A and B are shown apart, each in its own frame.
Chain A
Amino acid sequence: MNEAFRAGTAADMSPVGTLDRREAVPALVGNPQDWLIVAGLAGTAKDTAAMCEPEANYFACAGVMGGAVAMGLGLALARPDRSVLVLTGDGELLMNVGSLATVAILNPPNLSIVCVDNGHYGETGYQKSHTSLGVDLAAMASGAGITAVRSVSETHEIEEAGRLLREANGASFVLLKITPDAPPPVIRRSLDAAFAKDRFRTATLPAG
């Protein structure tokens, strides 16, 4: 009998990084009001809401996995006057990693992407994602053609990566490797996307 192929997805907290997202994400993003932010679901939605509230300069998903980068692209093309940040997780990005290729060929200078990589599907019980099993999303971003890419696993690397997000001449991508042991901030937010959409537009669109 042939050996069965197996790649672990059982719940397990083995870390891909050591950074605590509650410190590393705000340090990397800097002043959240400098950005229009699209967040993926789960952890990054909470990271973003905790940074931005009570301001409404963010739209956070609670579903539609794989959509965050493309949403950020449409927003960046619509708002060349503003810097747009996509903040998403490894599981969300893996669902539609081809969107990095779409971003790369357009290469808008006002679009920055941060993947907060804890190597796990935190929302469903911390099963390992592919990034715990050797997949390198920073290499995939580079391979897609994004030239401004950093992989950050130490605190001292955050400052330079934050500058890259703000100053790159084209689209930029930072992989932030964090520990799954430190949970995202606890914050309540509306899951009504129509409300979130109207709130975002009211707060951020120019008058008239």
Chain B
Amino acid sequence: MTDWQEDLYRVLKEFEVSQVSYVPDAGHRVLIDMSLADPEVHSVPLTTEEEGIAMLAGAHLGGARGVAAMQSSGIGNCVNMFSLVKNGLFPMLVLVSMRGDFGEGNPWQMPMGQAVEPVMEAMGFITVRIDRPEDVEGAMRAACTMVFKSGQAVGVLLTQKLIGAKAF
């Protein structure tokens, strides 16, 4: 179950990510735990997701690389902060654990879950969906290359086909 999450973390390390910010979420549990155990990484719990976007822009000003991990609902909290990414052409890597998607049983999650891709694309992000564990390593490597080599803003969507739909 956790193998793909270990693949994901290994790719982040290959790309020298040193700041991991998050609002806790079950879909990112292994990432969070691995970042907390990693002496080379600043592991930063946020009070709201847009802090992570601003924080990673600051990290780039200081020459460091980071990732913002959040649930799909958090994308809604970030929209205006994405203006900083788009106006400033900041590289930005956002990992989104999806709710309100394939097989969702909580209607409160549906509106934002369905809006994640159009909202991110409207704010200049490239989105990459991952449905299968065996695709995680390659998709993460593609995303990190676009962000850290080509300076792009990329949202990696870890779908409910990958992480499982939460039953209610």
Which one of B47, B55, B88 contacts A98 once the chains associate, using CB atoms below 8 Å?
Answer: B47
Count B-side interface residues using an 8 Å CB cutoff: 32
Tell me if B42 and A194 are in contact (CB < 8 A): no
Q: Which of A158-194 contact B (CB under 8 A)?
A: 192-194
B37 at the interface (CB under 8 A from A): no
Q: Are A70 and B58 in contact (CB under 8 A)?
A: yes
Tell me whether B48 is interfacial, beta carbon within 8 Å: yes
Q: Are B51 and A96 closer than 8 Å at their CB atoms?
A: yes
Q: How many residues of A contact B (CB 8 A)?
A: 38
Q: Does A10 contact B (CB under 8 A)?
A: no
Contact B59 A197 (CB under 8 A): no
User: Does B50 touch A at the CB level, under 8 Å?
Assistant: yes
B50 close to A78 (CB less than 8 A): no
- 5 A-B residue pairings within 8 Å (CB atoms): A68-B54, A98-B46, A102-B45, A201-B60, A206-B63
Give the interface of B toward A (CB within 8 A): 18-19, 42, 44-48, 50-64, 66, 80-81, 83-84, 87-90
The 4 closest A-B pairs by CB, nearest first: A78-B62, A74-B58, A98-B47, A193-B88
Q: Which residues of A contact B (CB under 8 A)?
A: 36, 38, 59, 61, 63-79, 96, 98-99, 101-102, 105-106, 192-194, 196-197, 200-201, 204-206
